[in-house]
Structure 1
Amino acid sequence: MIRSMTAFASGERSTPWGTLSCELRSVNHRFLEIGTRLPEELRALEPAMRERLSARISRGKLELGMRLRVPEGGDALRVDPAMVDQLAGIARELQSRFPTMQIGFTDLLGFPGVLGARAGDPAALQAEAMSLLDAVLGEFVASREREGKNLAAVISERVDGIARIATEVRTLVPEIRVALRQKLQARLADLAQPVDPGRFEQELVIGLQKLDVDEELDRLDSHVVEVRRVLTQREPVGRRLDFLLQEFNREANTLGSKSVDARTSAASVELKVLIDQIREQINNIE
């Protein structure tokens, strides 16, 4: 099942240290790009969280956000004495150079690492955070798959349209060949001077060669079969579909350049419309 690159999932749970919440969202991106917003207590987990995400997501611009809302009351907060002592030492060293320097209490508390939630067991808090991430990630992937199912249905509908047009053009070609012969004969009949039959056949062969689109139609049919197969795969297929779309476009352009009939020209245009509609969907596929 294909997956969309656009999704959102969130969750939260109560812990002895406060309410832990997690949000995961993503949008289209050519590669995998992960951004994180973590509280100070969980910053050490960033490499592990990135690894967990990249193990299940291959493309998209992801934003992972986690918050720890501590309960009200003084016991819920702690000040890191070592951090405060370190900042005090730096302030004393700079005081001679900046005698008017003043440090506000709220500025001090806002410095990363000074103030945080009281956590007697950091390992337990980190385990809760990873467990919550796993739960949210599971829903996130499921959301991507649900949206991917919708995208696959739209793509399949457009691919069916391409197959229908290829069949119609294949049916029209013999009729167009007959019409081409009749048109050439009518033009030659209007000429005052008789025309060498060999020259007539030569002109007819040139016109029929230009109309020879059997290879293009065969390749369109082959690409249709491949897209239908790819849409059933479990692994990421966005890049593969993008390549097939380029092949579709190449055959549609060639069909248009070889056209000697308004109906095949219209078919080429209709093919390009369907291809553009497929491209809009593929841009959102992992």
Structure 2
Amino acid sequence: MIQSMTGFGKSVVQLPAKKITVELKSLNSKSLDVNTRIPSQYREKELQMRSTIANALIRGKVDFGLYVEITGEETSSKVNEVVVRQYIQQLKNIVDGDETELLKMAVRMPDTLKTERNDIDEEEFAAITRVLEEAITEIKTFRLEEGRALEKDFLLRIRNISALLEQVKELDPERMTQVRERLEKAVADMRENVDKNRFEQELIYYLEKYDITEEKVRLANHLDYFLSSLQSEESNGRKLGFICQEIGREINTIGSKANFAPMQKLVVQMKDELEKIKEQVLNVL
């Protein structure tokens, strides 16, 4: 089952004094690119959380947000009373003023608030790990649902190309007949004696040059391979991209050999369907 690289996951946990929210958002990317937005006091755990995300999501441009809201009496910032009193005393030496006004001025000065760095306890980090895993589960579910939509589109496009290929096969005998007639007419217009054996050899050469039997067979095989790859247990967007390249190569060769307007129109339609597949393959994990 294929998966999309696009997804969103969110999970929230309420601790006694904190509300912790984890958000994950991913878009398509050639490799894994994780951007984090977490409070500074949790930086020591960043590598561990990045590793968890990388092992689960594999590829994509991933935005990871960890948001902590203090809901209890706990706070990491405290008034630095010693510094504030010193500022007030210094201000008194400069101007006479009301204590309240001096206090308002003092608390605006540098270092009047001190932030105490508290280590993350194991229970709190265990809760963070749990909500991170829940958000990962949610984003993977989102990716699977997006993958189902992509698969439906791929099946439609591949079937369209297969139907166009059948039309190419039906037109091929008429095309080869016209190629032969054009060559014979070109020789007749020369109004010169032509060695029949040499002409037959040249005719065979050009007919072989315009022959698309191998391309038709290879294109059909590539289409089948694409469909079977969709059903594999692992999602592999790179593999589907490589198969698309091979499909495109055969379609281009048929177009270059066609030399027949009705068939070239079919080739253009096949290219259009293939381009739509290529655009969507970029979103596959």
Scaled by the length of structure 2, what TM-score is found?
0.82
- Contact 2:20 / 2:67 at 8 angstroms: preserved in 1? yes
In 2, distance between residues paired with 1:107 and 1:211?
Answer: 83
Please state how far the C-alpha of 1:79 moved relative to its aligned partner.
Answer: 4.1
Q: How does 1:97-112 map to 2 (within 5 A)?
A: 108=111
Number of corresponding residues:
261
How far does the alpha carbon of each residue in 1:203-245 deviate from its partner, in whole angstroms, 9 at most, with x for none? 3213311221111111111111111111112323111011111
Q: Which amino acid aligns with 1:218?
A: V
Relative distance call for 1:234 and 1:267 in structure 2 (3 A) is same
In 1, distance between residues paired with 2:109 and 2:126?
Answer: 31
Q: Which has the larger radius of gyration?
A: 2
- Contact 1:41 / 1:122 at 8 angstroms: preserved in 2? no
Who is 1:78 aligned against? 76
Who is 2:150 aligned against? 151
Who is 2:32 aligned against? 32
Q: How does 1:191-210 map to 2 (within 5 A)?
A: 191-210=190-209
Relative distance call for 1:64 and 1:201 in structure 2 (3 A) is same
Please state how far the C-alpha of 1:13 moved relative to its aligned partner.
Answer: 2.0
Task: Give the aligned CA root-mean-square deviation in angstroms.
Answer: 2.6
In 1, distance between residues paired with 2:128 and 2:112?
Answer: 24
Relative distance call for 1:180 and 1:30 in structure 2 (3 A) is same
- Contact 2:78 / 2:113 at 8 angstroms: preserved in 1? no
Q: Does 1:267 align with 2:266?
A: yes
Relative distance call for 1:259 and 1:228 in structure 2 (3 A) is same
Q: Does 1:54 align with 2:54?
A: yes
Q: Which amino acid aligns with 1:26?
A: S
Who is 1:128 aligned against? 127
Who is 1:95 aligned against? none
Unpaired runs of at least 5, structure 1: 89-102
Who is 1:138 aligned against? 137
Q: How does 1:129-278 map to 2 (within 5 A)?
A: 129-278=128-277
Q: Which amino acid aligns with 2:47?
A: P
Please state how far the C-alpha of 1:35 moved relative to its aligned partner.
Answer: 1.3
- Contact 1:17 / 1:125 at 8 angstroms: preserved in 2? no
Q: Which amino acid aligns with 2:130?
A: S
Query: For 1:67, what is the secondary structure of its paired residue?
Result: strand
> Identity of paired residues, percent?
30
- Contact 1:237 / 1:285 at 8 angstroms: preserved in 2? yes
In 1, distance between residues paired with 2:112 and 2:155?
Answer: 57
Q: Which moved more, 1:31-40 or 1:194-203?
A: 194-203
Query: For 2:76, what is the secondary structure of its paired residue?
Result: strand
How far does the alpha carbon of each residue in 1:12-33 deviate from its partner, in whole angstroms, 9 at most, with x for none? 1211121111110011111001
Q: Which moved more, 1:131-140 or 1:247-256?
A: 247-256
Scaled by the length of structure 1, what TM-score is found?
0.82
Relative distance call for 1:188 and 1:68 in structure 2 (3 A) is same
Please state how far the C-alpha of 1:38 moved relative to its aligned partner.
Answer: 1.4
